[in-house]
Structure 1
Amino acid sequence: MEAGPDVPALVRELTRRADPARLRHDVEYLADRPRGRTHAPEAMARAETHVAARLAEAGWRTERQPFDVRWRPGTTDRPVGGSLSPRRVRLHRRLTGANLLAEPPDLGDRPAVLVGAHLDTVVDSPGADDNASGVAALLEVARLLGGLPEPPAVRLACFDMEELGFVGARAVARAARHGRRVTGMLCLESVGCFADGPGTQAMPAGFGALFRDAAGAVRARDRRGDFTLVVHRRSSDAAADLWRRAAGAADPPLPVVTLRDPRPDGPLGTLAGLAVPPVNHLGRSDHAAFWSAGVPAVLLTGTANFRNPRYHRPTDTPDTLDYPRLTAVAVATAVTAALWRPYGHRR
């Protein structure tokens, strides 16, 4: 099956079955309070139970995978300085958490594309955009793909401790590197905030000089924050193109800005960020753990604090999100996960 001709038809089919009210319900349930394994464990357990139940209802086989790591470099989940401030860096003596992983009942050991989103928040923020929006989109992807006559080779992951330094994602990425069961990864990060007014989209310092095409696309939109940013590398070019085409087939079309991170996958790409600090903004979520493990990955984002003034604040609440456009994000992600065939992937 060729991906090209199938994109518009699959978008139409999944859009008919998608429901913005379901996404809103999931966001409202998850984002009624802060949640985190270390600062709000009861809320985190409540959110985890909700996600597991929704995945099971959609027909996915769900497994809770605990992890226990020691002396792990990471970040604090408390609002200290900017997102890349050295003041956020921490050495965690011990972290105990768990990821939720799900797959279709008959997938077995076949290689698959992984769709992931993190469940935790920073202290004192209910995290509607960051990242109940991503989790709600992931749950809609589960419903949409689970309803296909032949569910594709896709796995889902709800990550723990993203705010502490991608701790849960690193555990999954390590397993993916050794087990070869994940051939590509799509990361849903802060995907529910859209701003249509001119000047509502900011860019990091040095961004325009490093990424002229993407910066030009933002300026051409009069700096309106009405698009989804798709960050990819050469290894995931095809996924970025699929996602852009799927978003363009939505009704109305969902604007997209694509940005290729020039670094290679693997440890060398991680080290390159030390030489050119502005590119580290491109690795600010769980996809970075998969890049480091050599797994092709794509970041899908509304750019977090560069658009959303409520980022990491108590005001990041469900009433501030755009649910029709969040639904379009979920549909485009489901289409991409179903059709993307990373190198070495056999369906």
Structure 2
Amino acid sequence: MDEGIPAPGGSGPFADADVSRLRRDVEFLAAGTRSRRRAPQAMQRAEGYVREQLADAGWHVERQPFDLRWRIGATDRHGHRALALKPRLHRRLRGANLIATLPGASEGPAVLVGAHLDSVEGSPGADDNASGVAVVLEIARLLARLPLPPPVTLAIFDMEELGLIGARHAARALGRGGRVAGMICLESVGYFDDTPGSQRLPAGFAAACSEAAATRADGLRGDFTLVVHRRSSAAAAAYWQRAAAAASPGLRGILLRDPRPDGPLGLLIGLAVPPAGHLGRSDHAPFWNRRIPALMLTETANFRNPHYHRPTDAPATLDFARLAAVTSATAATAVSWPRGT
């Protein structure tokens, strides 16, 4: 770990994540459904906004299109069912990821910070996942201020709601030759609820996970960010937890270790054991499958947010102060990612 980069706090380098900018970004992006297939003009508008914001912050942005045939994925119709319960075979999918780097950054493996831009049919997707994209944009502004450009790459993924399609393509393209040291996925990170009982647990988790027991003991309050990791990313998860606690306002991070190994075996276990599959429901999973250490940051989506995949997933439902804490902790973790673990 690079101990030269302190965790965010009152005087940390990432303490000034801007709540008003986060709100502005979410409000622009969540004007309506964003989808290549269902709302292509809105998706183009959202992509143009993201490219502009990254470029204005000083990042070099590359649009990486893909044209894929006969891919197994999921449906992007609204609903609360998990990805594994919505399989679809897509004849052809044409989309594009945005990949951004800072000019002058050192060569070598980079830490990838990413979020998906698309939403499901009929939902403006403020939490899922304009919240994650807004964090990436604010991280871009914060990292551009550092005196030395850090080895961090930013990614905006397409077609997550169709079965992690953009992230699967990016993991293949970026994962070759050890170009990615680690990956942080931001998935539905803006909804919090301090009310007892507001947090639900997936079937099978209550008995199997000590983290679930701790959440029950706290009254099942939805006041935390879940940091899903594997053994390969355990040190980075612990760093994020410390950084979030030191942020202003302080944010509780609960660590949840996926016991599966990185690589294809972990994928097969997830297919055979459905509760484990919940831990791979976003864009980090294709990186795990290619043995790249990764984290998923989430407020747990449909296990907390009653607006998940619905028309009511609007900016007014989000907690932007806590979203700023997520931003600060993620920026600090990206530049301090433990190497060689």
TM-score (norm 2): 0.96
Once the 2 structures are TM-superposed, how far is the Cα of residue 154 of structure 1 from its aligned partner? Answer: 0.2
1:220 aligns with 2:229: no
Contact kept? 2:104, 2:149, Cα under 8 Å = no
Equivalent position of 1:162 in the other structure: 160
Equivalent position of 2:111 in the other structure: 113
1:67 aligns with 2:55: no
Contact kept? 2:117, 2:130, Cα under 8 Å = yes
Q: Deviations over 1:252-274 (max 9, x none)?
A: 31011110000000100000112
- How do residues 1-347 of structure 1 correspond to structure 2 at under 5 angstroms? 2-3=2-3, 6-8=6-8, 12-15=12-15, 17-79=16-78, 82-84=81-83, 86=85, 88-107=86-105, 109-211=107-209, 213-343=210-340
The 1:128–1:11 alpha-carbon spacing in structure 2 relative to 1, beyond 3 Å, is: farther
Once the 2 structures are TM-superposed, how far is the Cα of residue 182 of structure 1 from its aligned partner? Answer: 1.0
Contact kept? 2:131, 2:189, Cα under 8 Å = yes
Contact kept? 2:5, 2:332, Cα under 8 Å = no
Once the 2 structures are TM-superposed, how far is the Cα of residue 181 of structure 1 from its aligned partner? Answer: 1.3
In 2, Cα distance between equivalents of 1:151 and 1:326 = 24
The 1:12–1:107 alpha-carbon spacing in structure 2 relative to 1, beyond 3 Å, is: closer
Q: Which runs of 5+ in 1 are unaligned?
A: none
What is the letter of the counterpart of residue 263 of structure 2?
A: G
Contact kept? 2:193, 2:221, Cα under 8 Å = yes
Once the 2 structures are TM-superposed, how far is the Cα of residue 4 of structure 1 from its aligned partner? Answer: 8.1
In 1, Cα distance between equivalents of 2:254 and 2:76 = 29
In 2, Cα distance between equivalents of 1:148 and 1:5 = 11
Structure 1 stretches of at least 4 aligned residues deviating more than 6 Å after TM superposition: none
In 2, Cα distance between equivalents of 1:5 and 1:67 = 36
Q: Deviations over 1:184-240 (max 9, x none)?
A: 1000000000001100000001111221x2102211221000000000000001110
Q: Which runs of 5+ in 2 are unaligned?
A: none
Contact kept? 1:31, 1:318, Cα under 8 Å = yes
Q: Residue 7 of structure 1: SS of its match in structure 2?
A: coil
In 2, Cα distance between equivalents of 1:229 and 1:245 = 13
The 1:9–1:228 alpha-carbon spacing in structure 2 relative to 1, beyond 3 Å, is: closer
Contact kept? 2:116, 2:160, Cα under 8 Å = yes
Q: Residue 95 of structure 1: SS of its match in structure 2?
A: strand
Once the 2 structures are TM-superposed, how far is the Cα of residue 13 of structure 1 from its aligned partner? Answer: 2.6
Task: Answer with 298-307 or 174-183: which moved more.
Answer: 174-183
Q: Residue 102 of structure 1: SS of its match in structure 2?
A: strand
What is the letter of the counterpart of residue 269 of structure 1?
A: G
Q: By percentage of residues, which structure has more helix?
A: 1
In 2, Cα distance between equivalents of 1:163 and 1:50 = 20
Q: Residue 175 of structure 2: SS of its match in structure 1?
A: helix
Give the count of matched residue pairs. Answer: 341
Percent of pairs with identical residues: 62
Q: Residue 12 of structure 1: SS of its match in structure 2?
A: coil
What is the letter of the counterpart of residue 35 of structure 1?
A: R
In 2, Cα distance between equivalents of 1:85 and 1:249 = 36
In 1, Cα distance between equivalents of 2:81 and 2:36 = 22
Q: Deviations over 1:256-299 (max 9, x none)?
A: 11100000001000001122110100000000010111110000
What is the letter of the counterpart of residue 209 of structure 1?
A: A
In 2, Cα distance between equivalents of 1:139 and 1:247 = 18
Once the 2 structures are TM-superposed, how far is the Cα of residue 10 of structure 1 from its aligned partner? Answer: 8.8
